[in-house]
A and B are shown apart, each in its own frame.
Chain A
């Protein structure tokens, strides 16, 4: 089925077109089912392509498909072409699979929304863009998907556009991404300048022609794009705001797929990164720093989705830490595991928010395990998985990352372990506040409102009794919980189906080999496990019983290190003033002033010479003609003299 690879992208695109032309007529819930079935079909095709790819007998299994010539100008020939290898196939499988589940969930979650079909319109377009991103065989096709997911993210974050906060958050997400995209574009230009091609295979084959400084420059420019898309330092503030979007969007785009595009891109260009140890080190440091900073912020947030958002930023930091160490396989492993458990956690939080009639404040939840048993059980799996409690998937995936970090950069390993403890702590805080303790949702007023990040949602007065969600929402929870629990089997290295034996050939010699003895591996794993269990216990113990512990919720962390305020003061307001200055002073007074000055000077001198100063256009024209004749005469005499 390799030759129908294009169908993987085409099916969601057809779904998009169906929604565009007839979504409103299909209505609620048919439009949702139609959209879901297109994604399901795409998933099935992906499985077929995967099985076919398994049949390819080669050291590195690859397949390329050239669809058409997109931008042909002279030596620059950009093709719309696809590239299938174990790396892109892994992405395709989990993107289509998780998308299918989240589409299904959305049919329940978005029920009764005014723009029900429009939601699925954007969702289908998003999936198509994401698949273009991962299947592109050159940098421009990747960029097409890259911007496409950004645009869909914009539409979906500001989906409830009548809310100013949602509209602003969508714009913010897009602009932050655009800053990154400028870096991506420059990386493309520099690559073309050096190798006259943008096909990954050609670029990688000609790395030695690029020169080491330029390789580093290309990697760092790509990194600018990546930190925008994957919400890393310094471009991470948009992700928390993006939680304004409907929760399935947060689960699909801002946890499982789009934000991992940066991880994928850096894995894709692993030969470049391998050729530039400096750039790789920068990636590792940014990853570790982001993991830590975001984890501290997550410890003090009260909006359930914001905790998860910062948690996502933090987990993505781990993935970049792995990439920076050269442990690409570990990054992909964590990405897939993260897609399961973070998708699960977001959908679980959506179920909670739905059950509580749109309440998102953790301080107004409590004891939900009694009312929402399915949500609780599945959420608990996600919680323990992300906390890296053995033997759930997070333990294996994070362990893989930390193991490699220990061998490559021990100092960054220490940051990673501290962050792992914080992760276990804040997730237990969240779970303790939401599912344990007393019912706080029945209280008359919000206990702790008004002191949160902008855009947090509080409802006034008592909330009606929570209810469990409908089956269409809980089925995806069960499925994701299953995978979040058992995805660790991918780590069993002797298995034929292990991730390593499947994906490692893509990276070949670029993959970092940590050469750790089995004793060290056991020691490291023990440390991970103990840290996870201890911090889960601490977090739960502290937050099960009490909802107010101001000492543990420093304003600095609540305010997300005041990064937003800092950017506003340093970039936002000065550029606003500059724009206003250009618009109010430079343009009308300086530039136009010069023009009008010339005009009045002409008029003035005209008045001196002639008294027929009427201001009519024909007089100006006359002046122009006189001037023309004068200049013309000058030119002609000059000619004759020469």
Chain B
């Protein structure tokens, strides 16, 4: 099977940071200058960013299917492919990952052993990139699991006081979820094989598998268990405040901003595509968990006295919004959910980086030990304010656009869930403004008054994030133009399988029929009827191994 693009951009995207990690590992510390490994890390992530930028440039807007597809047989007997592709749902997560890694390496440096630190970060980037662009379920699973290893070592090796507990809890909890995912993946493939006689793990083929009601529900739950833990979605979140709080700044930033999105991305990509019927049947359950997460996360955040834990719970609420939009199962809700993944990533990364810098200066995250920082550090306070307002959802900044789409989409589909979630928007203002007031307002003590403002280096590190926060708030169209066609295709898929009659005037507009430059072989624009399970002959799934 030939690849459908002349140059395998996505493979390069995954391999560059992986090779970087290997380079960091093999170049011994004493052979080079002390700064070498960090500089190498920055260089590798910047190259990755450039590749991601090329991918974005090559990406054709207005087209819903997978683009830039690479497909190679990997393990023939097992039907596993090295199959990569990108669509509007994953494109901006890839870009988010590419933007955040260099900034994190620069902005949240290790206190010791930078070589291993950078090595783990590069491996993490490769794993995240791989997860976002994998179209083969086994490949996805491998990357998805691979993210655990660097994250575990980052928390355990560079974390704070209770890092050991936090790291093990994180690892065991996430791994337990993954076990269900693995079982689910295998079951899906075998059921598909029993229907078509073809063993494959490729999503575009598997998404037309027919599942009976209880099969679908069980498998949906197995997949969702893994993703709900990773995201995390209430009530699977209790590992996250410990992990985010004990991790080094870089770990917190990347776990919240990027790795958490693997969970919500997984739900959209795999749950909705593979189990449309179960997704619709169980939507009320997930919507309820999302809304509880929004309100509960906000409430618990109100009672936190530690900035990192406050942000961790605020994240629980934000992830709740993403899940809410996802299970609205309509164009606005899902587009909002996808956009909000990017928005939340940018905003929470900014906040965690800033909180890390506060720690560098004051060695504390306790709000009670900080006061009046706005006086000695106005720039730090100003940037914090912008990110805070974006998180609260003030329009003009990026957080609003996603939240608005999520809520409007949910309101149309499931009114009362949206009403409760809108109430959660109020509480978000309470805890963030409270935290801000405690830390930045008031008369600074003598020690507070000595707090250093941001250096020019630090300003340059957060500048891209702030610019993106404002830009995506004012002009999100370039993103939405790419996200919506893919989302619409997914909505059509779900609706066709579940035979939902869409109210007049709300049906998604047809996806542009124009074929992109690189006609993707895995285009899923035209759904095929479920294969007859009894026939045993290969249904036209688009490929034969």
CA distance A489 to B185 in the complex (A): 78
The answer on a CB contact under 8 Å between A71 and B190 is no
What's the minimum C-beta distance from A332 to chain B, rounded to whole angstroms? 26
CA distance A75 to B294 in the complex (A): 27
The answer on a CB contact under 8 Å between B303 and A148 is no
The answer on a CB contact under 8 Å between B194 and A639 is yes
The answer on a CB contact under 8 Å between B442 and A76 is no
For B506, list chain A residues within 8 Å (CB).
75, 196
Kindly state whether residue A265 has any CB partner on chain B within 8 Å: no
Given the interface pairs A158-B441, A192-B412, A624-B175, the reply to whether A147 lies near B395 with Cβ below 8 Å is yes
CA distance A266 to B147 in the complex (A): 53
Kindly state whether residue B498 has any CB partner on chain A within 8 Å: no
The interface bits of chain A over 579-597 (1 if a CB of B lies within 8 angstroms of the residue's CB, else 0) are 1101110111001100100
Residue with the highest number of chain A CB atoms closer than 10 Å, among B303, B407, B481: B303
The answer on a CB contact under 8 Å between A174 and B194 is no
CA distance A147 to B171 in the complex (A): 41
For A579, list chain B residues within 8 Å (CB).
299-300, 302-303
Cβ < 8 Å to A, chain B residues 194-209? 194
For A479, list chain B residues within 8 Å (CB).
none
For A70, list chain B residues within 8 Å (CB).
474-477
Q: A73, A115, A175: which contacts B405 (Cβ < 8 A)?
A: A73
Number of interface residues of B (CB under 8 A): 77
Kindly state whether residue A612 has any CB partner on chain B within 8 Å: no
CA distance A588 to B385 in the complex (A): 30
Q: A171, A617, A627: which contacts B433 (Cβ < 8 A)?
A: A171
Q: A196, A576, A621: which contacts B175 (Cβ < 8 A)?
A: A621
Which residue of the partner chain A has the closest CB to B533? Answer: A642
For A167, list chain B residues within 8 Å (CB).
437, 441-442
The answer on a CB contact under 8 Å between B172 and A76 is no
What's the minimum C-beta distance from A465 to chain B, rounded to whole angstroms? 30
Q: B172, B304, B443, B508: which contacts A74 (Cβ < 8 A)?
A: B508
For A639, list chain B residues within 8 Å (CB).
187, 190-191, 194
For B412, list chain A residues within 8 Å (CB).
189, 192-193
The answer on a CB contact under 8 Å between A72 and B477 is yes
The answer on a CB contact under 8 Å between A73 and B332 is yes
Kindly state whether residue A143 has any CB partner on chain B within 8 Å: yes
The answer on a CB contact under 8 Å between B477 and A68 is yes
Q: B183, B299, B434, B475: which contacts A635 (Cβ < 8 A)?
A: B183
The answer on a CB contact under 8 Å between A175 and B422 is no
Kindly state whether residue B524 has any CB partner on chain A within 8 Å: no
Residue with the highest number of chain B CB atoms closer than 10 Å, among A74, A179, A587, A621: A74
The interface bits of chain A over 61-86 (1 if a CB of B lies within 8 angstroms of the residue's CB, else 0) are 00000001111111110001000000
Given the interface pairs A164-B442, A193-B411, A584-B303, the reply to whether A73 lies near B296 with Cβ below 8 Å is no
Cβ < 8 Å to A, chain B residues 60-82? none
The interface bits of chain B over 274-308 (1 if a CB of A lies within 8 angstroms of the residue's CB, else 0) are 00000000000000000000001001101110000
The answer on a CB contact under 8 Å between A178 and B425 is yes
Stretch from A180-188, A355-363, A406-414 forming part of the interface with B: A180-188
CA distance A171 to B434 in the complex (A): 7
The answer on a CB contact under 8 Å between B183 and A628 is yes
Kindly state whether residue A151 has any CB partner on chain B within 8 Å: yes
CA distance A143 to B394 in the complex (A): 9
For B395, list chain A residues within 8 Å (CB).
140, 143-144, 147-148
For B443, list chain A residues within 8 Å (CB).
162-164
The answer on a CB contact under 8 Å between B480 and A72 is yes
For B400, list chain A residues within 8 Å (CB).
147
The answer on a CB contact under 8 Å between B442 and A583 is no
Kindly state whether residue B542 has any CB partner on chain A within 8 Å: no
Kindly state whether residue A534 has any CB partner on chain B within 8 Å: no
Given the interface pairs A147-B394, A189-B407, A189-B408, the reply to whether A182 lies near B423 with Cβ below 8 Å is yes
Q: A182, A575, A582, A625: which contacts B300 (Cβ < 8 A)?
A: A582
The answer on a CB contact under 8 Å between A189 and B418 is yes
Kindly state whether residue A636 has any CB partner on chain B within 8 Å: yes
For B331, list chain A residues within 8 Å (CB).
73-76
Q: B171, B396, B480: which contacts A617 (Cβ < 8 A)?
A: B171
Q: A71, A166, A635: which contacts B404 (Cβ < 8 A)?
A: A71
The answer on a CB contact under 8 Å between A74 and B509 is yes
CA distance A582 to B431 in the complex (A): 14
The answer on a CB contact under 8 Å between A164 and B441 is yes
CA distance A332 to B241 in the complex (A): 51
Kindly state whether residue A443 has any CB partner on chain B within 8 Å: no
Kindly state whether residue B527 has any CB partner on chain A within 8 Å: no
Cβ < 8 Å to A, chain B residues 313-359? 331-332, 335-336
The interface bits of chain B over 442-482 (1 if a CB of A lies within 8 angstroms of the residue's CB, else 0) are 11100000000000000000000000000000111100110
The answer on a CB contact under 8 Å between A148 and B173 is no
Kindly state whether residue B372 has any CB partner on chain A within 8 Å: yes
Q: B187, B303, B437, B442: which contacts A582 (Cβ < 8 A)?
A: B303
For A171, list chain B residues within 8 Å (CB).
433-434, 437
Kindly state whether residue A632 has any CB partner on chain B within 8 Å: yes
Kindly state whether residue A519 has any CB partner on chain B within 8 Å: no
Kindly state whether residue A168 has any CB partner on chain B within 8 Å: yes
CA distance A620 to B422 in the complex (A): 41
For A155, list chain B residues within 8 Å (CB).
385
Given the interface pairs A175-B430, A583-B304, the reply to whether A76 lies near B408 with Cβ below 8 Å is yes
Kindly state whether residue B89 has any CB partner on chain A within 8 Å: no
Q: B182, B241, B303, B444: which contacts A162 (Cβ < 8 A)?
A: B444
The answer on a CB contact under 8 Å between A76 and B332 is yes
The answer on a CB contact under 8 Å between B375 and A595 is no
The answer on a CB contact under 8 Å between A144 and B396 is yes
CA distance A72 to B488 in the complex (A): 13
For A580, list chain B residues within 8 Å (CB).
303
Q: B173, B423, B426: which contacts A175 (Cβ < 8 A)?
A: B426
CA distance A601 to B444 in the complex (A): 49
CA distance A119 to B433 in the complex (A): 20
Q: A178, A190, A582, A636: which contacts B190 (Cβ < 8 A)?
A: A636
The interface bits of chain A over 405-437 (1 if a CB of B lies within 8 angstroms of the residue's CB, else 0) are 000000000000000000000000000000000
Kindly state whether residue A631 has any CB partner on chain B within 8 Å: yes
For B484, list chain A residues within 8 Å (CB).
72-74
Kindly state whether residue A509 has any CB partner on chain B within 8 Å: no
Kindly state whether residue B238 has any CB partner on chain A within 8 Å: yes
The answer on a CB contact under 8 Å between A168 and B332 is no
Which residue of the partner chain B has the closest CB to A620? Answer: B172
The answer on a CB contact under 8 Å between B411 and A189 is yes
What's the minimum C-beta distance from A592 to chain B, rounded to whole angstroms? 4
The answer on a CB contact under 8 Å between A178 and B408 is no
The answer on a CB contact under 8 Å between B434 and A628 is no
The interface bits of chain B over 405-425 (1 if a CB of A lies within 8 angstroms of the residue's CB, else 0) are 101100110010011001101
CA distance A578 to B411 in the complex (A): 27
Kindly state whether residue A492 has any CB partner on chain B within 8 Å: no
The answer on a CB contact under 8 Å between A71 and B476 is yes
Kindly state whether residue A204 has any CB partner on chain B within 8 Å: no
Kindly state whether residue A482 has any CB partner on chain B within 8 Å: no
Kindly state whether residue B235 has any CB partner on chain A within 8 Å: yes
For A158, list chain B residues within 8 Å (CB).
437, 441
Given the interface pairs A73-B484, A167-B442, A639-B194, the reply to whether A587 lies near B396 with Cβ below 8 Å is no
What's the minimum C-beta distance from B413 to chain A, rounded to whole angstroms? 10
Kindly state whether residue B50 has any CB partner on chain A within 8 Å: no
The answer on a CB contact under 8 Å between B509 and A75 is yes
CA distance A575 to B241 in the complex (A): 22
What's the minimum C-beta distance from A193 to chain B, rounded to whole angstroms? 5
Which residue of the partner chain A has the closest CB to B443? Answer: A162
The answer on a CB contact under 8 Å between A75 and B480 is no
The answer on a CB contact under 8 Å between B300 and A583 is yes
Given the interface pairs A148-B394, A182-B426, A582-B296, the reply to whether A624 lies near B179 with Cβ below 8 Å is yes
Kindly state whether residue A472 has any CB partner on chain B within 8 Å: no
Which residue of the partner chain B has the closest CB to A630? Answer: B183
Q: List 10 A-B contacts (CB under 8 A).
A: A72-B480, A147-B394, A148-B394, A154-B433, A161-B372, A161-B441, A168-B437, A174-B433, A189-B408, A575-B299
Closest 10 CB pairs of A and B: A583-B303, A167-B441, A189-B411, A74-B331, A592-B238, A579-B302, A144-B395, A579-B303, A161-B441, A628-B179
